Amino acid sequence: MEKKIVTVVGATGIQGGSVIDVLLKDDKYHIRAITRNCETQSAKDLAAKGVEVVQATTNDVSSLTAAF
């Protein structure tokens, strides 16, 4: 069965991180984390957990389009 992609905006923040923690418990999802900076320790920690981390910002439509 193909995994459903769930994209979380603000993934390195408190709310986004909490959403990702819950989703990681269910193997049905491929998690894509959107963050402004993929080089932060929080982003690297997500990647180490198997989360796809992509760079995008809410004020740059082209970056969001590419991320989604």
Range of the domain at 48: 4-59
pLDDT at 44: 97
Q: What pLDDT shows up at residue 1?
A: 77
Give how many domains the chain has, as a whole number: 1
Average per-residue pLDDT for the chain: 95
35 in any annotated domain: yes
Whole-structure pTM over 0.85, yes or no? yes
**Residue 65 within a domain:** no
Q: Using one digit for the tens of pLDDT, what is the confidence trace for 12-29? A: 999 999 999 999 999 999
Summarize the confidence of residues 27-40 as an average pLDDT. 95
Cα separation, 37 vs 4, whole angstroms: 24
| Rounded distance between C-alpha atoms, residue 3 and residue 21, angstroms | 17
